[in-house]
A = this chain, B = another copy of it.
Amino acid sequence: MLKTPYLLFLGDVPDPLSAKVAQGIRDWRPEYALGQYRLPGCQADMKLPDLTIEDAVAQGAQTLVIGAANRGGVISRSWIAVLEEALAAGMDIASGLHNLLRDEPVLVEAAKKHGGRLVDVRVPQVQYPIGDGKPRRGKRCLAVGTDCSIGKMYTALALDIALRERGVKSSFRATGQTGILITGEGVPLDAVVADFMAGSIEWLTPDNDDDHWDIIEGQGSLFHPSYSGVTLALIHGGQPDALILCHEPTRTHMRGLPHYSLPTLEQLRDTALPLAQVVNPACQVVGVSVNTAAMPADEADRYLEALESRLGLPCVDPYRQGAERLAEAVAAC
């Protein structure tokens, strides 16, 4: 879907958090991150070489990735000139912003003139099939959460790398725009038309070697009323052999919904597993990934220990502890 390597465009973001797409690429696919391009005032730094468009192209950059999120997800006026220059130099441009590249006439014209592509990864690029639920060869693992934005992508990316470090064949399968920009391909599931959701995930995770794992990025939560349907389509389209439960213990309510409390990990397990077994009777819950960023280290350790004896499953924070124990549990599945 995207040509690599990338030049990461950070624009003039007011803080490092606004450059989390660039950060994700730098952390998870450093081999794609050739350099960065910053405008005056930019408050983020990926500790990559600052390259001009000319330098980046000379070093082989294929795609300028907009690695920054502006307020409101818009394509800032101050960015357009650089994007035009990149197109003129023969690069593609990729963006996960709400406002689409294809809606900027200046960029559309420049892309046409120079033969470059404008890739809005929020927009499905494929006519996905309707799901058929047929068993597929190879193994699949899916991260499901007690809530949205709870560390499912991080967990899946860390697990994918930990599996490969163990010598297990593994592919991270992106289902959201950040994941797609990081790995260069995937399905923007939240933008897929309802009837084709499950089919898009079947398409994303096709037949593979018997000993190959697809590590599928989760979306939403079965307990989040805004997005639960997306999550169930992911479970039924993904046909997981293994589920990883994801949780954030300090969160007091569902993301964006102060009137909804989070389910327990037991409720998540007892809801997600029978639903997954509709399409894959052998599916198991193999581990728990906990985002303990908001807890002091000793409290996090005590929490994980207690959780592990409560659930009888490996319970780890992959950011603090690495994903090796989750990879071990998946590989043993």
Seen from chain A, the residues whose Cβ lies within 8 Å of a Cβ on chain B are 130-135, 189-195, 197-199, 222-223, 225-234, 236-237, 254, 256-257, 259-260, 263, 271, 274-275, 278-279
Q: Say how many copies of this protein the assembly contains.
A: 2
Q: Which residue of B lies closest to A223 (CB)?
A: B278
Q: What's the nearest-Cβ distance from chain B to residue A164, in Å? A: 29
Q: Are B226's CB and A131's CB within 8 A?
A: yes
Instruction: Given A229-B232, A259-B133, decide whether A275 and B194 contact each other with a Cβ distance below 8 A.
Output: no
Complex contacts, A274 vs chain B, CB 8 Å? 271
Complex contacts, A189 vs chain B, CB 8 Å? 194
Q: How far is the CA of A198 from the CA of B260 in the complex (A)?
A: 16
Q: Are A226's CB and B275's CB within 8 A?
A: no
Q: Are A279's CB and B225's CB within 8 A?
A: yes
Q: Which residue of B lies closest to A274 (CB)?
A: B271
Partner of A133, one of B133, B230, B260, B263: B260
Q: How far is the CA of A167 from the CA of B163 in the complex (A)?
A: 63
Q: Which residue of B lies closest to A129 (CB)?
A: B226
Task: Identify the interface centre among A190, A231, A234, A278: most chain B CB within 10 Å of its CB.
Answer: A278
Q: What's the nearest-Cβ distance from chain B to residue A283, in Å? A: 13
